[in-house]
Amino acid sequence: MVVRNEMKINLVAAGFEDLNTILQMQIKAFAGLYAIYQDTKTSPATEKYEDILFRFNQPETIYYFITTNNMKVGVIRIVDFKDCITRKRISPIFIMPEYRNKGYAQKAIKEAERIHGQQNWKLDTILQEKRNCHIYEKLGYHQTGKTEQVNNKMTLVFYEKD
């Protein structure tokens, strides 16, 4: 018999006092993608504190730390207008490099859907990042057909989940 030590994650709502931590984690988490794609206009690695603060102050935004065993392994931002018309959005989600490939992102998305409702979601990711696309598709998201060329190295692809 194989016993798997499955890690449980929690989503812990972040407060104003956490914004600098979120920014520092975000810069570190997206540094590798920025080095590859050099997407100065869209990369979370190039954002400033004011960008995080602006989104944090939107009434429809909630930032969560993705935690396991009281360790912050990542962050997910949910945009939820709490109506039946507007799609909820994940933007961004990231796992710190040292915690990747352990299923935390998938578990965080499932938990966000449990909290905010299973239906009517959207997100976007880098088309060239096949692992990201695979994770979202595995979770039931489908490509909308819309793409956006950011530069000659990178294209965004848009997903929805009904």
User: Distance (Å, rounded) from C-alpha 88 to C-alpha 106?
Assistant: 17
The pLDDT tens digits for 1-56 are: 554 556 799 999 999 999 999 999 999 999 999 999 999 989 999 999 999 999 99
- Quote the pTM value: 0.94
Distance of CA 55 to the CA centre of its chain: 14
Query: What is the sign of the dihedral through the CA atoms of 130, 131, 133 and 137?
Result: positive
User: Where do we find the tokens 């979601």?
Assistant: 121
Q: Which phi and psi angles does 55 have, rounded to 5°?
A: -70, -40
d(CA 150, CA 148): 6
Is residue 98 predicted with pLDDT exceeding 90?
A: yes
Domains with residue ranges and CATH for the chain: 10-115 (3.40.630.30)
pLDDT for residue 7: 79
Q: Tell me the pLDDT band of 158, cut-offs 50, 70 and 90.
A: very high
* pLDDT, tens only, 48-69: 999 999 999 999 999 999 999 9
